Structure 1
Amino acid sequence: TEVNLKIKRGTETLEIKVKREKVHMKSIETKTNGNAFIMKINGFNEGISTEFREAIEELKQKNIKKLIIDLRNNGGGYLDEVVTMLGYVIPKGEPVAVVKYVKDEGSYISKGQNLLDLNNYDVVFLQNSGTASASEIMIGTIKDYFPNVKIIGEKSYGKGSVQNIKEFFDGSSLKYTTAKWFTGKTKTGIDGVGIEPTEKVELDEQKLKDFKIDTQMDRALNI
């Protein structure tokens, strides 16, 4: 179907017909900068695991041994997608995330597809206070299994709770916590704690504004 838009530009009014179509917003943006391959992950949306697989294949075609994964301002998303993504790099049968309830706990196990051996790469994560939930599970679990991974930026948000919402007839609702998430191998909690960077680097907003210099990315590229 088509939509008729009226757009006012100054004193002029324009009429434009626009055709409705589905727009697929990519969750992962990739680029090469010198000797580094950069993945900017905007959110763990439905289908991102397929994009991650494609990004891995793109990386493997290049003679590059530094991988920068930018998770700044990534507030999370679908845990199932993160579990699938971690299964591409974590050995088969190993836990990639642990959920603890009041009386018991359960683990999400890697299917071990072994698409990429991170031992062969210098891996750097970028994070800040907007890095939360599924992003923290990814960083924390990969750091569990690959201790040489570097984390640049600021402490992450610290969102590791599983919450449900109960709606009542009068229109009110109650949000309550039923469980908490922990990293896969060491079962490290992140809720209310966050993940500390291995090297703290603040974003210089003035340099970013005046010179388009991203001080955190610059450090990741040169570490």
Structure 2
Amino acid sequence: MTFNKKLIVALSSIILISLVSFKLKVSDRYFEIIKNLDIFTTLYKELNTYYVDEINPTDLMEIGIEAMLESLDPYTNFIPENRIEDYRIMSTGQYGGIGTAMGKFNGRNVVLMAFEGSPADKAGIKIGDEIIAIDQVDITELDTEEINTLLKGQIGTSLQIKVKRYSQNKPLTFTVKRDRINIESVPYYGLIDKDIAYIRLTEFSSGAGADVRSALIELRDKGAKKVILDLRGNGGGLLNESIDVSNVFIPKGYEVVSTKGKIEEWNKSYKSEKNPVDISIPLVVLINGTSASASEIVSGVMQDYDRGVLIGQRSFGKGLVQATRPLSYNSQLKLTTAKYYTPSGRCIQAIDYSHRNDDGTIGKIPDSLKNEFTTKAGRKVYDGGGVTPDVELEEEGFAPITIELIRNGYIFDFATAYYYKNQENVPDPNTFEISDNLYSEFSEWIKGKDYAYTSDTEKLIAKLKEQSKDDKFHQFISEELTQLENEIQSHKSDEIKIFENEIKLALKDEIISRFHKRQGMIEASFESDVEVAKAKEILNDAQKYKDLLSVK
């Protein structure tokens, strides 16, 4: 046997052994699946037959499924038949309903928003109305999710809604016909300053790309020479819509995103397929910690191609792709099938769900494991931690006192009262301010209402008190800590004055919403929006804009 023949025989043997080994591994895997399914089925049957108390078989199975999926990632979910409609709404942005957003304050089910042009809006239902009955069924004890289920239904069907209104002594009854409700992906667009287009994109539901495209075309025709695309708070949506939105600003044929998973034939590279609207107009993209998934694809693409400047805070870091698989009895499984990668090759997934800590918790990917990539111009970017903006700004959150006033519905109720007392004086969203006199009125109105909260410092003091009980200095420490608690309480009583400016902003937003709905709220926010102000500053400084997109 020649050397070549011996080599061929050896290689053939290795390949054969490898194939046999692979088949054995696959066979072992399938045996494990069958064995464990049998154990699970037997256990489920025995529990339902012999457990001392009655068990709801459906509830028990759903609990088991949810517990199994919980060990994976939060985006892999079981969707039973009774929740299919909710999933369809989430993925398409359409449903049959009346067009309200509901909330609950101190046991009251109130309308937080009646969307412009919706059946509820046309029927006369207003923000601040408390719904007390639907089709003569008392709903005061129901939660918000149950009420939303009652309000949704087949298009064309009618329902009677009874409400309490601030300005009326007797309840009002409205007959509302359900219609197709389209959740707007672009709730607002317009010119801010004379030549800067502002487009707010809140979700990537069906048609988002077309909405951004038409908004930019319209604003450009009105004189826009620069653009702000606001993706703050946008949790994502459909992958194809992120491609269409990106395509508005980048040339046809450019790679937008690629996906890689276990099933190789499912791996795919997605390119822009349409002619763009404008590939050179100066662009700023606003992102924050709740900009996720499709929002991160768009912002990552703009950064990788040096197409625009990113401003705000690091994005959420969701680089996972989901697909739905049909199950029996009209249920579905939404599961993570791949990770996505931006054009530079980076995956922005920030949390490692595949490797949990010993206690079951999950952590963020450490900096030591992150890889460096470069944009088209050669700027350094990194994977494994969301999208880091080119200009980072500290996020300005509300103080605890303001959060409590909002959470308890006091700012909401005061705005409702203001609306019914001032219907003849419609405020301009761009110029309206909370006057000192109006704020004094609010301060008086809030007196005696319960909006107490426990600060993080107070929680730490309470914990320290508890832990020091066995210490011989406990009495001394306790007295000192009590004195500190009293001092904190005295300062908290002054918080209505200390945090006047931010409480005024919250009041302004609520009052404007009563007169001008969502669009007015967005317009009114521009004056105090730090990120929008920074975006305008950079767009109006051509050299600074250019420098931010160049290699330093």
Alignment TM class, shorter chain as reference: 0.7 to 0.9
What is the aligned partner in structure 1 of residue 317 from structure 2?
Answer: 158
1:88 & 1:125 partners in 2: Cα distance?
Answer: 13
What is the aligned partner in structure 2 of residue 2 from structure 1?
Answer: 158
Which residue of 110, 113, 122 corresponds with 2:275? 113
Structure 1 position 66, deviation (Å): 1.6
Which residue of 194, 197, 205 corresponds with 2:389? 197
Confirm or deny: 8 A CA contact 1:153 1:202 kept in the other structure: yes
RMSD: 2.5
Confirm or deny: 8 A CA contact 1:202 1:216 kept in the other structure: no
1:135-161 per-position Cα deviation (integer Å, ceiling 9, x unaligned): 00001112222x152111100000011
1:216 aligns to 2:505 (yes or no): no
What is the aligned partner in structure 1 of residue 189 from structure 2?
Answer: 30
Q: Secondary structure at the match of 1:22?
A: strand
More strand by percentage: 1
- Assess, with a 3 A threshold, how the Cα gap between structure 1 residues 81 and 208 changes in structure 2: closer, same or farther: farther
TM superposition score normalised by structure 1? 0.85
TM superposition score normalised by structure 2? 0.36
The residue type equivalent to 1:33 in the other structure is I
What are the equivalent positions in structure 2 for 1:110-149 lying under 5 Å apart? 110-117=272-279, 119=280, 121-145=281-305, 147=306, 149=308
What are the equivalent positions in structure 2 for 1:51-90 lying under 5 Å apart? 51-90=211-250
- Assess, with a 3 A threshold, how the Cα gap between structure 1 residues 209 and 27 changes in structure 2: closer, same or farther: farther
| Higher mean C-alpha deviation, range 37-46 or range 11-20 | 11-20
2:397 & 2:535 partners in 1: Cα distance?
Answer: 17
The residue type equivalent to 1:114 in the other structure is P
Which has the greater radius of gyration?
2
More helix by percentage: 2
Q: Secondary structure at the match of 1:155?
A: coil
Structure 1 position 106, deviation (Å): 1.8
Confirm or deny: 8 A CA contact 2:250 2:307 kept in the other structure: no
The residue type equivalent to 2:349 in the other structure is D
1:150 & 1:208 partners in 2: Cα distance?
Answer: 28
1:12-60 per-position Cα deviation (integer Å, ceiling 9, x unaligned): 2222222322233321120111031101000001121221221121132
The residue type equivalent to 2:284 in the other structure is V
The residue type equivalent to 1:142 in the other structure is M
2:224 & 2:348 partners in 1: Cα distance?
Answer: 32
Structure 1 position 202, deviation (Å): 2.2
Confirm or deny: 8 A CA contact 1:202 1:215 kept in the other structure: no
1:178-209 per-position Cα deviation (integer Å, ceiling 9, x unaligned): 210011x2122111110111111123345654
Listed as ranges, the gaps of 5+ residues in structure 1 are none
Confirm or deny: 8 A CA contact 1:203 1:215 kept in the other structure: no
Confirm or deny: 8 A CA contact 2:210 2:244 kept in the other structure: no
What is the number of equivalent residue pairs in this alignment? 216
Confirm or deny: 8 A CA contact 1:208 1:214 kept in the other structure: no
Runs of 4+ in structure 1 deviating by more than 6 angstroms, as ranges, are 165-169
2:253 & 2:315 partners in 1: Cα distance?
Answer: 28
2:326 & 2:182 partners in 1: Cα distance?
Answer: 32
Q: Secondary structure at the match of 1:98?
A: strand
Confirm or deny: 8 A CA contact 2:249 2:278 kept in the other structure: yes
Listed as ranges, the gaps of 5+ residues in structure 2 are 1-156, 351-384, 399-500, 506-524, 539-552
1:187 aligns to 2:379 (yes or no): no
2:179 & 2:333 partners in 1: Cα distance?
Answer: 37
Identity %: 33
RCO greater where, 1 or 2, for CA within 8 Å and sep 6 or more? 1
